[in-house]
Structure 1
Amino acid sequence: MPTTAADIARRLADDAEAVCRRYLSNGRREGHYWMVGDVHNNRGRSLYVRLSGQGDGLRQPGKWTDASSGDHGDLLDIISASCGHARFRDTLDEARRFLSLSPEEQAPRNPAPRKSKAGTAEAARRLWAASKPLQGTLARAYLAGRAIADLRDDAWLRFHPHCFYRPSDEDDPLVRRAWPALIAAVTDDAGRVMGVHRTWLDPASCDKAPVAYPRRAMGHLLGHGVRFGSAGAVMAAGEGIETMQSLKQVSPLLPMVAGLSAAHLGALEFPEQLRRLYVARDDDPAGTAALAALRDRAAPLGIEVFGLEPARGDFNADLVTLGRERMGASLRSQFQPGDRHLLQ
């Protein structure tokens, strides 16, 4: 049985998902991360815990970051906050009790069905290869319904007509296990597929499927994103695919990348040639934290970071309600003078 705090933390990290399922039960697994609202087990997606990795600092299993507050720590911190401990000794005792459980007792009561290598980059590449181009599909119609008509940089977007959906505890027990889906490839700067993002769709409404979580990602996501155009000296980044595609409608020549969540947006890797980054952030604490994280990381590299604010709460709402011309006009003052030619 481990005795020191460091030993206990290492043992917990070896079974990080079991720890999360017990102490952060309101969260869920997404690829190599456990996503939840905060260390107190509230629902949400601000806090992410790495479930697997290489054990080298940022990629160490069991490490977590809260994109909303900027807090970070290990699984002992999770246990302490979840149990409301006032003394570190109580946290260590609770962790020892957890680690003494048999494998059967540690396992989740309703484990998610798994195939070999599920959730890995390899599984993501298989799904990407099984998908087809957008033209003439429900995914194309879904984007058009959100006023996203110009898809000149859609190389990393595809459609799958029958994509598996794993129900969560919040879904109806009779929910369908497969839906059509918009598939987006998550790539590194060299164009290698590291993961995929799925948006499940409802053929009856041409909108998102009526499931608890119509968007999910899998694979190696940290540092990577869904890319629209080749990297350049000036780029834009944001959270969602629809957010960045909406911005693309008024600035088609500007390379862009979607990080898929505030936490991953703040951790995006910078291309070597990048000198100025516009961040289409969501107007919430997580979006504010992501912008701050990007600025802190970019400053030592000589990269300028500028925030872009939507007029109607988010950029797709701007596109739908304002139209391209008025949306472009609302952004003009937020672009640097030398970049305004990028706006239509």
Structure 2
Amino acid sequence: MSGSASELARRLGEHAEAVCREYLSNGHRSGNYWMVGDARNTTGRSMHVRLKTSTKGPAGKWVDEATSEFGDLLDVIRESCGLIDFRDIADEARRFLSMPLPPPRLPPQPLGAHRQPAAARGSPDAARRLFGMSQPIVGTLAERYLAGRGILLSTRERALRFHPGCYYRDFVTGETQTLPALIAAVTNLNGQITGLQRTWLDPSGQGKAQLADPRRSLGDLLGNGIWLGHEPGMPVPVMAAGEGFETMASLKVVMPALPVAAATSANHLAGLILPPGCRRLYIAADADAAGRHGIERLSQRAGESGILALVLRPQLGDFNDDLRHLGPAHLAAWLSDQLLPEDARLFLPSE
């Protein structure tokens, strides 16, 4: 039996309801569909998984009416299990289908050579190795990409790197290609890299690469973040946190002295570990409601720790939209009305 993505998706589709009961347990059957909130097994009804092949299409295909996302049951396994590499997704699918796993692929090794053991796919060690193989962003396509988004950061920011040929695997076909990528380190409060986020870039310099998902994360993300302006071991009495890197980097542009952390997703924002001594936390919101749970949960946790949590809201879709379309001066003025007066004096540039 072929181990290709299309074949695995077809086999999973033959057992679509069993797959849904295993990986989308917060949903329920309704006629010929499984209803659930999304592919990450959130409670709700906006995502519909077809359970039997019909004139409308094959079993196992799904669509999320809230986001217009669609896919197959391999995508469900990827999202619900939090997997990154296609090989890990395929292995999980084979486990569910009770299919034999493929033998491990070992690269040829010259006689007498001493190779460092390969890092496990998606592990913190793999993240550290990829970051170590990357270069500072100064003068690279990554710096150009950020500048095009209005993001001009200090060269002292060590969380950002550039990789000229970062592997990208298509989750549907299993095919790989190499593309330039902005690499952002995810670290714990001690400054140790636990994961990273890759943003693949168009080699022509025209923004992100034309991919279905040009931004992916790997490693241990929960509790950790992409920190800008934070020195490990130093007190952080006031900080800001949010989901997306570009959102938080945009705030950093207009408040360069404020430590900020990007948690990479709403769920990870809810679990972000706050530094000791933090007294005030500004949480960056987007205009949509997708991250409301993360904001509410982090606000609750902060309050339980005696930290004052305040929400910052953009005028447009997010703070990068504000930065690009309204300009840094307008964004700073908009933020000045949302910060406490003492923080506005400390972190916003004077007129």
AA aligned opposite 1:36? R
CA shift at 1:151, angstroms?
A: 3.0
Higher relative CO (Cα under 8 Å, sequence separation at least 6) belongs to 1
Secondary structure at the counterpart of residue 264 of structure 1: helix
AA aligned opposite 1:247? L
**Pairing 1:117–2:109 present:** no
Question: Is this contact kept in 2: 1:225–1:257, CA < 8 A?
Answer: yes
Larger Rg: 2
The 1:125/1:243 distance shift into structure 2, 3 A limit, reads: same
Q: For residues 210-262 of structure 1, what are the alpha-carbon distances to aligned partners after superposition, in whole Å with 9 as ceiling and x for unaligned?
A: 11110000000000000001251000011111111111111000000000111
Secondary structure at the counterpart of residue 278 of structure 1: strand
Query: Which residue pairs with 1:5 in the alignment?
Result: none
Question: Is this contact kept in 2: 1:160–1:181, CA < 8 A?
Answer: yes
Structure 2 Cα separation of the partners of residues 324 and 51 of structure 1: 36
CA shift at 1:38, angstroms?
A: 3.3
Query: Which residue pairs with 2:52 in the alignment?
Result: none
AA aligned opposite 1:246? S
**Pairing 1:105–2:110 present:** no
Structure 2 Cα separation of the partners of residues 190 and 51 of structure 1: 24
Secondary structure at the counterpart of residue 122 of structure 2: coil
Question: Is this contact kept in 1: 2:169–2:175, CA < 8 A?
Answer: no
**Pairing 1:325–2:329 present:** yes
Question: Is this contact kept in 2: 1:147–1:319, CA < 8 A?
Answer: yes
Query: Which residue pairs with 2:254 in the alignment?
Result: 250
Query: Which residue pairs with 1:297 in the alignment?
Result: 301
CA shift at 1:280, angstroms?
A: 0.8
The 1:19/1:128 distance shift into structure 2, 3 A limit, reads: farther
Query: Which residue pairs with 2:206 in the alignment?
Result: 206
Structure 2 Cα separation of the partners of residues 167 and 247 of structure 1: 33
Gaps of 5+ in 2: 1-17, 25-37, 50-62, 70-74, 84-92, 107-117
The 1:204/1:301 distance shift into structure 2, 3 A limit, reads: same
Q: What are the residue-to-residue correspondences of 1:1-344 with 2, within 5 Å?
A: 23=23, 36=40, 38=42, 43=64, 49=80, 103=95, 105-107=97-99, 117-169=120-172, 177-230=177-230, 232-341=236-345, 342-344=347-349
Structure 2 Cα separation of the partners of residues 336 and 48 of structure 1: 39
Between the two proteins, the alignment pairs up a number of residues equal to 268
CA shift at 1:139, angstroms?
A: 0.4
AA aligned opposite 1:284? D
Taking structure 1 as the reference length, the TM-score comes to 0.69
The 1:164/1:21 distance shift into structure 2, 3 A limit, reads: farther
Query: Which residue pairs with 1:78 in the alignment?
Result: none
Question: Is this contact kept in 1: 2:183–2:198, CA < 8 A?
Answer: yes
Q: For residues 284-316 of structure 1, what are the alpha-carbon distances to aligned partners after superposition, in whole Å with 9 as ceiling and x for unaligned?
A: 223221111011111121101000000111111
Question: Is this contact kept in 2: 1:21–1:108, CA < 8 A?
Answer: no
The 1:183/1:103 distance shift into structure 2, 3 A limit, reads: closer
Q: For residues 248-283 of structure 1, what are the alpha-carbon distances to aligned partners after superposition, in whole Å with 9 as ceiling and x for unaligned?
A: 111000000000111111110011111100011122
Percent identity for Structure 1 against Structure 2: 44
Structure 1 Cα separation of the partners of residues 197 and 298 of structure 2: 22
AA aligned opposite 1:255? P
Gaps of 5+ in 1: 1-17, 25-33, 53-100
CA shift at 1:154, angstroms?
A: 2.0
Secondary structure at the counterpart of residue 330 of structure 1: helix
Q: For residues 148-176 of structure 1, what are the alpha-carbon distances to aligned partners after superposition, in whole Å with 9 as ceiling and x for unaligned?
A: 1233452100000000101022xxx5976
Query: Which residue pairs with 2:59 in the alignment?
Result: none
CA shift at 1:206, angstroms?
A: 3.0
CA shift at 1:182, angstroms?
A: 0.2
What is the root-mean-square deviation in Å for CA atoms of aligned residues? Answer: 3.5
The 1:302/1:153 distance shift into structure 2, 3 A limit, reads: farther
Structure 2 Cα separation of the partners of residues 154 and 260 of structure 1: 18
